Structure 1
Amino acid sequence: MARGYSQHQKNIIKNYYKNLDTIALQKLQEIVSELYICESEKKQASLWKKAETQLKKLEIKPAQLKYILEERDLGELARCISKLV
């Protein structure tokens, strides 16, 4: 962080990384909502890819992660998120 950031900027950066898990959970909740109402398969594929990225940032069992992503089980994804919240 020695790139000439002001103290205020350093605090913003520190808080961002401190709350990264909360940010990932919030994004996942938004993705679940969008997947629920999504009608386009192309959009669904894009959202599942985003969900995979966010899930990898969280501490989820590899077997559960694999199941959710392979089956594209929206209900299981929602249950997983609710357990983490």
Structure 2
Amino acid sequence: MPDYTPYQRKIIERYYRNYDAIKTQKLAELVTEVYLAEGKARERLWTRIEKTLQDLEFPATRITHLMEKRDPALLPGILREIQGQS
């Protein structure tokens, strides 16, 4: 790993300090997009939602249930739950 300047180290530290907030915001954006998307784009969004939930360490059983249902109406509740934890 290359040596980073103090400025770069601070940027990296802030990124990881705010990682959960960044991923939660990304999930919120994906929730909006999945409501509007159709076809293949919607399937890609569901894959991204699954990955984001895994990154946020959401329970695997709940992710599996969500991915089986693929019901966008479940997402706002999950998002509220995650935001309540942050």
Q: How does the TM-score come out when normalised to structure 2?
A: 0.88
Aligned to 1:26: 25
Residues 1:14 and 2:13 are matched in the alignment: yes
Name the counterpart of 1:79: 77
Q: SS where residue 56 of structure 1 aligns? A: helix
Following the alignment from structure 1 to structure 2, what is the Cα–Cα distance between the partners of residues 52 and 62?
A: 10
How far does residue 76 in structure 1 lie from its aligned partner after superposition? 1.3
Unaligned runs of 5+ in 1: none
Separation (CA, whole Å) in 2 of partners of 1:21 and 1:70 = 25
Matched positions, count: 83
Q: Is 1:44 aligned to 2:42, yes or no?
A: yes
SS in 2 for 1:5: coil
The whole-number CA distance in structure 2 between the counterparts of 1:75 and 1:24 is 20
* Aligned-pair CA distance for 1:59: 2.8
Match for 2:54: what amino acid?
A: K
Shift of 1:4: 2.3
The two structures, once aligned, show a CA RMSD in angstroms of 1.2
Unaligned runs of 5+ in 2: none
Instruction: List, as ranges, runs of 4+ consecutive aligned residues in structure 1 with deviation greater than 6 Å.
Output: none
TM-score by length of 1: 0.88
Quick one: distance in 2 between partners of 1:59 and 1:10? 25
